[in-house]
Amino acid sequence: MSDEQFSTTQIMPADVPVLGGDNLIAMAQQAEMRIEAIKRIKKVALAVTNQHDWINQQGKPYLQVSGAEKVARLFGLSWRLNEPTVDMEPDGHYAFIYTGEFSLGTASIEAVGSRSSKDPFFRKRDDKLLAPDEIDRCDVRKSAYTNCIGNGVTRLLGIRNLTWEEVEEFGQFKRAEASRVEYQKRGEMSEEAKGHRDEIRRMILEMSGGKGNAARDQLFNLTSFTTKEGKDVPGKRRLEDLSEKMVAVTCGKVKKAYEVWVAAGSKPTGGDGDVDGIGDIEF
């Protein structure tokens, strides 16, 4: 046999099955049957839920634990969750993480559920960002627990990433009937407040000589205050942590400090705050 003939000869590994026409047809038929089965599961599962079991979370349907438990009972699912682990971060925030085994007949999967104290649902209150020690740890833990159950049930049944069209069709209710949760984007506020924030940023950068740590310290000092009851309230070191209401109050304080600074003989840069060190300041 010549080298040319040998190079064009293909050797099929012994462990690779040859797919004939009958095998392909059988595989296609099985795939079609599975697709239909998934559709039926989806239809039956969503039919036992109602608008109170769903949340419109920033435009996407999210099945709450009440709905997941209904679906689990319908199909005879069972699960066993481990004790949660806590992931602590340097800034004091934390996340609860649950893992669990979910079973349906002889099939079983492992699912994970977690929630963090940084989630706006826990951290934001009345346009104020709460510190880690101000957030109820039990709320975060319970939410991680229910998140794990929801993930396990929906994964095992193959009903994740649903659209509102599917939920409305099989759930027999409209998305407008479900509770809605919208998270305000970080730093989102009125145009007037944004203008005040830019003024604060410019004046503090000038007074601090464009040095990041000095700017954060000034902002902290100017936003700290004592309540009528004599309680000291610590200030903020980042402009993004100021609510719209706090921005307006802080702008007035910064302007007074800036006027005193100029009257003392300091010279404004006359720029827009683009000075050395600006990249170090988290505004």
Which of 77-86, 133-142, 215-224, 234-243 has the least mean pLDDT? 234-243
Domain positions in the chain are: 46-181, 191-280
Provide the pLDDT for residue 117: 92
pLDDT at 13 over 60: no
Predicted TM-score (pTM) of the model is 0.54
Residue 230: pLDDT band (50, 70, 90) is: confident
Residue 183: pLDDT band (50, 70, 90) is: low
Looking at the chain, the whole-number percentage of residues with pLDDT higher than 90 is 25
What is the average per-residue pLDDT within 159-169? 87
Q: CB–CB of 123/129 below 8 Å?
A: yes
Beta strand pairing call for 54-57 and 179-181: parallel
C-alpha 173/C-alpha 214 separation (Å) is 56
In this predicted model, what pLDDT tens digit does every residue of 244-276 receive, in sequence order? 778 888 888 888 888 888 888 765 544 443 444
Q: 46-181 domain in CATH 3.30.390? A: yes
In this predicted model, what pLDDT tens digit does every residue of 40-86 receive, in sequence order? 888 898 899 999 999 888 788 888 889 999 999 999 999 999 999 99
